[in-house]
Structure 1
Amino acid sequence: MQNTSGEIAEQMAREYLVKNGIKVLDTNYRSRCGEIDIIAMDNDIIAFVEVRYRHSNAFGMAHETVGPAKRRRIIQTAQHYLQSNRKFSNHAARFDLLCLDGDLDQANFQWFKSAFMAS
């Protein structure tokens, strides 16, 4: 079975995070509210990471594609994860975007730490 460009981008994102000293805890975590691409630990902060890939920016850059509804689903899914994994309940949390624009073989990452907040 051949991987889609989105799956390849997510694998590249995981590798990028690990190379930058981040411990990946879980991938493609699903709840009834939605999915989180990568859940990771950055020192003592749990990071919920949305990976976005755009081959072309004709319809906007990758970081511009996460609207209010998507953010809300990510936040709700993160809350579910924290409730299901009490060992992380005392950790600070943040919501990151890890974006790739252009050809995957020349990937240029943009990592937006704390890209949005839970309200």
Structure 2
Amino acid sequence: MHCPNSGQLGEDLVAQWLQSTGWVILHRRFSSRWGEIDIIAEYARKAEGTSGELRTQHSILIFVEVKTRSSGSWDAGGRSAITLQKQAKICHTAEIFLAEYPEKADCSCRFDVAIVYCQRIPKNLIGVTANQEALATSSVHGYKLKLQEYIPAAFDSLIDNG
């Protein structure tokens, strides 16, 4: 059973979670001829200047690929869909983003992956069910979405483990 608009709902959940942890969403579904990046966000570290004022010290940009799947999906919850070809497309698209926004060129960049599970909420569900803890959850139109895993610098770890 597939969650309607599951990709969009999963991206919404991840964007909300990122914002709640201090990230600023710069773009959603940024497209180029190479492909699309689901979420681009920035986190600016603040440091105190010599006269006590807060100033931005260093910004980090993240390019986030969101994979939303129903339980029991065939592709390891979306992990195996992040092929080397997919990573290359996202990297090229990130380069185009940085060319369009040269003021972001000095930021550190990272490629992250978010794994979201979508499941139908049974109409006869009574009481509380135990399940694996999630980073964030939401319920929309009879479906429950769970941000099950967030993998910072995922391309590095996927290549190492691939």
Please, what TM-score do these two structures have when normalized by structure 1? 0.88
C-alpha displacement at 1:83, in angstroms? 0.7
Q: What is residue 154 of structure 2 aligned with on the other side?
A: 115
C-alpha displacement at 1:106, in angstroms? 4.7
Which of 56, 67, 72 is equivalent to 2:71? 56
Residue type matched to 1:31 in 2?
A: S
Percent identical:
28
Which of 94, 111, 116 is equivalent to 2:110? 94
Alignment of 1:1-119 (within 5 A): 4-43=5-44, 44-59=59-74, 60-103=76-119, 105-117=144-156
Following TM superposition, where does structure 1 have runs of at least 4 consecutive aligned residues deviating by more than 4 angstroms? none
Q: 1:100 and 1:53 mapped to 2: Cα distance?
A: 5
CA RMSD of aligned residues (A): 1.5
User: Alpha-carbon deviations, 1:12-52, whole Å to 9, x = none?
Assistant: 11111111111101110000000000000123110000111
Please, what TM-score do these two structures have when normalized by structure 2? 0.66
User: Alpha-carbon deviations, 1:56-101, whole Å to 9, x = none?
Assistant: 2341222332111111100000000001100101111010001112
Q: Give the 3 Å change call, closer, same or farther, for CA 66–75 of structure 1 in structure 2.
A: same
Q: Give the 3 Å change call, closer, same or farther, for CA 47–108 of structure 1 in structure 2.
A: closer
Q: 2:22 and 2:77 mapped to 1: Cα distance?
A: 26
Q: Give the 3 Å change call, closer, same or farther, for CA 86–54 of structure 1 in structure 2.
A: same
Q: 1:12 and 1:42 mapped to 2: Cα distance?
A: 18
For the 8 Å contact 1:57–1:101, the answer to whether it is kept is no
Of Structure 1 and Structure 2, the greater helix share is in: 1
Report which of the two structures shows the higher radius of gyration computed on alpha carbons.
2
Question: 5+ residue gaps in structure 1?
Answer: none
Q: 1:31 and 1:106 mapped to 2: Cα distance?
A: 28
